[in-house]
Structure 1
Amino acid sequence: MRTVHGLPQIEFSTPFENLREMLDVSIDKYPGIPAYIFHEIIEGKEYTVTKDYLQLKDDINSFAAGLISQGKVRIDGFGEEHIAVIGTNSYPWVIAHNAALFGLGISVPLDKQLADHEVARLCQRGKVTVFAFDYAHLETALMVEKGNPQVHTFILLDRQDKLDEIKQDLPEIQGFGDLLAAGQPMQDLKNKFISVPIDNKEMAAIYYTSGTTAQSKGVMLSQHNIVSNIKQAVRTIPLDVGKRALSVLPLHHTFEGTVGMYCFWATGISICVNENLRTLTKNMKEWGIAIILTVPLMLITMHRQIIKNIEQKGKTKTFRFGLKLTRFLNKAGIDIRRTVFKDIHSALGGKLDMVVSGAAALPAEQHRFFTDIGITCLAGYGLTETAPILSACTPSLNIMGSVGRPLADVTLAIDSPGAADSEESAGEILAKGENVMLGYYQNEGATREVFTKDGWFKTGDIGYFDKQDCLHITGRAKSVIVLSNGKNVFPEEVEVFFNQIPGVKNVMIWGEPTERGAIDLSARFQIDKEALPDSVGIKDEEMNDWLEDEVEKINREMTEYKKVKYFIWDESEPIMTTTLKIKRNEELQRIHKELAKLNLVVRDVSGKRILFG
């Protein structure tokens, strides 16, 4: 078993043991620096609101005091609230979540894309007593109310103008703005809330995983887990005080929660709240965004759009010459990338200089592209169960195709009898560190399954270390395809190559059993016709032929047993998590259900479009 222990790369003082203390430190270190910048609509007019760290703290305390004053939420030790928060990224979401962590009880962040009945079920499993939601989730709240008698308080995070309307169906509804305003003058109650002791080793939050191959489990994280990961991250990746980051990824995921919220608090990065993806470019330009946390699919989409714009303007040769020139000069220590590619930077707001990608493997093509144009592109790796970051590339060690070395004070190991230095000798990635979860909520059996007898957390991912101790991910143990000849194929590894086909938005590869007892690699492509090369016709027959050629080109470069034998395509979105990873089991069921309707198997329709209902 090969083991690598992460060492600090940066000197960064972290004199805090819980999140409340961390915010106090930031108040002292970053006076006058905005903690949050966001838009607020008042009487139909949009305003920009700025909150510094002191105002952030007071808003958390005021909201908590306002809620306590209603008489149902107690902080006297005789009750512990489980507060669910669901909705788009917003300042009220941040306040409600942190009021729970700062003393009201346990936070239960929920995925805003879950079906209503799933939210209601998770509220039962998570013993939720307070349900905070956006107006867009009113129907969800009504279903939660019917099936969860333990929920005594509902909080509307936005649209205060809808309160009277909602009270007809939810008499227990409270408005976020009303609670905040009510609590602001209640200094005695705020002082009482601030004095609530925080046991940083006890459960602070329940995060339900968005598992791609299994039912979600409730990950129990303590403040010690979260704060440990903050300390590990800020002593590994350098961040400049005062820069602005755009909050795009959903806050109910720990990647955005730990890095996109708490690491930025700790380092004095101003968080700008993106309303939705339609306003992404507008927000980037308006606020001068320098940092974005993202997932590979977003970077792939951005890359393709940039290249398409270059082609439409007839500047492909100029762009390629610029790449050659800047690469040559970089070797001589001369960096003019942002000057040469100023038009691209202008389209991205002009200030963007760092993107951090997580949740899935980042293809080397996109990693190289953003690096080539002068944007630091860092890939990281982690899981909800590890709060979440385990490893990350840094500006000084940015190996394309890897997810970097372990963070400071994180230890990773590869459970392999071999050298664990290549795909052939790869094994399951194991982890140790203070950021590793307490366990799964009310599921001791599942908790035991993911820990070894000597305390290693089993990630379920397969990988290896290179010569510089950087980690490379090859796939998920649970998604591995075992062929009839005994060979193992990790679909994620193969999908990276097919994802590079222009116009392919998503691809899923699976092993299709045959009557002869073999397993044939099969693929389903989601096509974005607007992203296709201009030379490709959009008729089905033309698409079939073109895709056949593209698949064949890639197959020629693949090891024999990794070649895709059959494929189908259409334009519909696959079933995905909110971090844009395909839910493999559900998507495969969808494919087989559609083929069964036609009384066909994938072999019969290979190379053709299949319309999904």
Structure 2
Amino acid sequence: MENKLKEKYHEVSNITSLKDMLNSSAQQHKDRTAFLTKKVKGGAYEEITYAQVKNDVDALGTKLISMGLKDAAIAIIGENCYEWIASYFAVVNGAGIVVPLDKELGKEEIQNLLRTANCKAVFFTQSFEEYVSDIEIDYKIRMKVYGDRTDLNEPLKVSDAEPVKGSICNWEDLVASGEALVRGGDLSFIDSIIDPDEMKIILFTSGTTDAAKGVMLSHRNIAVNVMDTCKIALITPEDRTLSILPIHHTFESTMGMSLILYRGASTAFCEGLKYVNKNLVEAQATVLIGVPLIFESIYDKIWKQAEKTGKAKTLKKAIKFNKTMKSLGMDASRKLFKSIHEKFGGKLRLLISGAAGIDPNVLRGYDDLGLKMLQGYGLTECAPLVSGTPDFYDSKKAGSVGPAVASGEIRIIDKDEDGIGEIIYRGPNVMLGYYNLPEKTAEVIRDGWFHTGDLGFLDDAGWLYITGRKKNVIVTKNGKNIYPEEVEYYINRNKYIQESLVHGYEDDDNEDTLVSAQVRPNYEVIYEEFGEGFGEEEVQSLIKRVISEINEKLPIYKRIRNIAVRKDEFIKTTTKKIQRHKNV
């Protein structure tokens, strides 16, 4: 299987660092579009070329070094935008150590992480000015989300004043000043040498089961992962993607930023989740990188619309017909489902899902509609991809997250009677360690293997299946293992349920650990079916009836014994994963 897989890998060019990657892409694709940005919210997309990206990165990096920030930790926080990305590469490609921060964190948490990483400067969008205004830090640099220069001949609106320590300065001022330095012969940034194995990135984990830790990454970690991903997912310079996930997150940072630039493709910035469809059409996107919640929501809307317009039966017949056509070597998806494709701009061809497992039925459903969906499994500590489904395989293994990436290796240890055990991984994309936490590092990296804390199994072909988190497993007094994620899957398939969280609780009467579930009803569906007057007591009765029906399909020891119906949303990470330790 391994040899067959390698034979089908897409060709990739070798890179050793992110600087090597950006310089190479700027040279090959100088006049091509790298980013699509807007002058004003709701306006038309305008193009920023690869030549401008390199110009702005070189200018900003040069200026940062002139400000005494060489090798300093520099944070970035804010909405996805061009200035965020240019700042990231200016720091990581020669100025210092980049520290991307989660914009969903509170002011106190953000200030704590700035101190933890010993940051000397912070880039921030205007929304976060109050978060950094009163913190003691050498430089505070304000970025814009809209209104970037899209033509190198455009003069920058700048101030001649030099940045003053402790005060706020503007991103454009630093770029303009850096351009003047480069014109004057300052090559301190451009000629700086990158050690691919040196720590240049500190990424704080989202902490779904534990407190955030600073993951130390090198250029090699990410460069190798970008190349490995491109071997199984073909992205070309003609592709366009829409940036919708928070950019500080390693999935979006590696897959939605570095990988796209590596391939000479382009990225448009989404104006918010409610504008996804609108922006897909405007940008004429061909690739969409997201999380299951986004893809499952879009898929549900497709079927709800079909049901509302009375076209659900017709759509099912068309899918069945197209499956027959595919079996004969013909694919009529684009014609049969033209109206659906046009809602996404008509050019969307590839969906890439990560950060959590997606419902296999949704994955197959997209495939039926002519939209190829890939999914991967990764962790921040692995920069992030550990395994992924190749685009040259069909969706028959829809429940799998694919085989290990080309340069890595997966093993399953401490297996139970079903072959399920902890997933461990080794490869050049494994982090250098946790920042200032050697003991925590030693707990997870042993003999070169990263112990993920996730549970799963490998099939005979080496494809990985995830069953849950090691920390989440519920163990009964008889030694039975119950994986909460498996029970949640059954619960969440019901149309009356939005989402759920399963955990164990100690039952004093039975002296055993039993299964408990917190359930958030899908009020939109419930009110649509039963009317707005459907009261909370009736909702609770409905949910209990649903859980009772689900229990009938589960083995006795896995059945849900305690139910809590909640109206408020679960506390989540920015990639919409439920934070178990904050909800139980």
1:464 aligned residue = 457
State the shift of 1:4 in Å.
11
Match of 1:278 among 253, 274, 280: 274
Q: Secondary structure at the match of 2:253?
A: helix
> C-alpha separation between the residues in 2 aligned to 1:16 and 1:341?
40
Using the aligned pairs only, state the percent identity: 33
> C-alpha separation between the residues in 2 aligned to 1:89 and 1:159?
7
Match of 1:194 among 187, 190, 197: 190
1:561 partner amino acid: Y
1:413 aligned residue = 411
2:232 partner amino acid: T
Tell me if the contact between 2:232 and 2:390 (Cα under 8 Å) persists in the aligned partners: yes
2:539 aligned residue = 543
Match of 1:132 among 102, 120, 123: 123
Deviations 1:399-434 (A, max 9, x none): 20100111111111111457xxxx811111111111
1:111 aligned residue = 102
Task: Kindly indicate whether residue 182 of structure 2 is the aligned counterpart of residue 182 of structure 1.
Answer: no
For the structure 1 residues 4 and 160, does the alpha-carbon distance in structure 2 shift closer, same or farther, using more than 3 Å as the test?
Answer: closer
State the shift of 1:545 in Å.
3.1
2:140 aligned residue = 154
Match of 1:440 among 434, 449, 470: 434
1:292 aligned residue = 288
> C-alpha separation between the residues in 1 aligned to 2:143 and 2:452?
35
2:512 partner amino acid: A
Task: Kindly indicate whether residue 511 of structure 2 is the aligned counterpart of residue 505 of structure 1.
Answer: no
Match of 2:54 among 43, 57, 74: 57
2:569 aligned residue = 573
State the shift of 1:194 in Å.
0.7
Task: Kindly indicate whether residue 361 of structure 2 is the aligned counterpart of residue 365 of structure 1.
Answer: yes
Greater Cα shift, 10-19 or 425-434: 10-19
Tell me if the contact between 1:225 and 1:437 (Cα under 8 Å) persists in the aligned partners: yes
Task: Kindly indicate whether residue 216 of structure 2 is the aligned counterpart of residue 220 of structure 1.
Answer: yes
State the shift of 1:396 in Å.
2.1
> C-alpha separation between the residues in 2 aligned to 1:417 and 1:522?
25
State the shift of 1:179 in Å.
1.4
For the structure 1 residues 189 and 214, does the alpha-carbon distance in structure 2 shift closer, same or farther, using more than 3 Å as the test?
Answer: farther
1:248 partner amino acid: I
Task: Kindly indicate whether residue 137 of structure 2 is the aligned counterpart of residue 142 of structure 1.
Answer: no
Deviations 1:492-542 (A, max 9, x none): 122112111114222111112122222221111222322348433532233
Task: Kindly indicate whether residue 505 of structure 2 is the aligned counterpart of residue 478 of structure 1.
Answer: no
State the shift of 1:170 in Å.
9.3
State the shift of 1:469 in Å.
1.6
Instruction: Give the total of aligned pairs.
Output: 565
For the structure 1 residues 8 and 177, does the alpha-carbon distance in structure 2 shift closer, same or farther, using more than 3 Å as the test?
Answer: farther
TM-score by length of 2: 0.92
2:14 aligned residue = 15
Equivalences for 1:235-384 in 2 at 5 Å?
235-384=231-380
1:446 partner amino acid: K
| Structure 2 gaps, min length 5 | 148-157
State the shift of 1:270 in Å.
0.9
> C-alpha separation between the residues in 2 aligned to 1:456 and 1:355?
30
2:114 partner amino acid: C
Tell me if the contact between 1:8 and 1:409 (Cα under 8 Å) persists in the aligned partners: no
2:154 aligned residue = none
1:426 partner amino acid: I
Greater Cα shift, 309-318 or 429-438: 309-318
> C-alpha separation between the residues in 2 aligned to 1:129 and 1:5?
49
State the shift of 1:344 in Å.
1.4
State the shift of 1:213 in Å.
1.0
Deviations 1:317-346 (A, max 9, x none): 111211221122221222112221222112
Tell me if the contact between 2:10 and 2:233 (Cα under 8 Å) persists in the aligned partners: no
> C-alpha separation between the residues in 2 aligned to 1:405 and 1:314?
41
1:38 aligned residue = 37
State the shift of 1:195 in Å.
1.1
1:526 partner amino acid: R
> C-alpha separation between the residues in 1 aligned to 2:432 and 2:11?
26
Q: Secondary structure at the match of 2:189?
A: helix
State the shift of 1:309 in Å.
1.2
TM-score by length of 1: 0.88
State the shift of 1:392 in Å.
0.5
Q: Secondary structure at the match of 2:495?
A: coil
Tell me if the contact between 1:62 and 1:190 (Cα under 8 Å) persists in the aligned partners: no
State the shift of 1:375 in Å.
0.5
Match of 2:84 among 93, 101, 104: 93
1:428 aligned residue = 422
1:122 aligned residue = 113
Q: Secondary structure at the match of 1:235?
A: helix
1:404 partner amino acid: G
Deviations 1:198-256 (A, max 9, x none): 11111010000011111111000011111111121112222233111111111111111
1:438 partner amino acid: L
Tell me if the contact between 2:69 and 2:120 (Cα under 8 Å) persists in the aligned partners: no
Q: Secondary structure at the match of 2:565?
A: strand
